[in-house]
Amino acid sequence: MANSAQARKRARQAEEARQHNASQRSAFRTAIKKVLKAVEAGDKSAAQAVFQQSVSTIDSLADKKIFHKNKAARHKSRLSAAIKAMAA
């Protein structure tokens, strides 16, 4: 347990940051799941619309350094490829 006032404050701040980051990671996973669900449904136009919203969320989290930019790019690429594969 933190003994000094400074350590107690840092512990408090760290916990708040952890909870905020956890909710942001959850939003990231939810955005991906929404796109995959739309792809499974087979509606390409709906999947593209959901994908555009998800890209916004993913880019935002990469900019805030919740996720590495390459991880964000990888997920966007795979989601895009899943949507493009729907036409085939």
pLDDT digits (tens, 9 = 90+) for 28-72: 999 999 999 999 999 899 999 999 999 999 999 999 999 999 999
Q: Where are the beta strands (DSSP E) in the chain?
A: none
| Model pTM score | 0.83
The answer to whether the beta carbons of residues 87 and 39 sit under 8 Å apart is: no
**CATH code of the domain covering residue 56:** 1.20.58.110
Amino acid present at 63: D
pLDDT digits (tens, 9 = 90+) for 68-85: 999 999 999 999 999 999
Domain span at 67? 5-84
DSSP 3: -
The answer to whether the beta carbons of residues 85 and 50 sit under 8 Å apart is: no
Token pair belonging to 35: 């796109």
Domain tally for the chain? 1
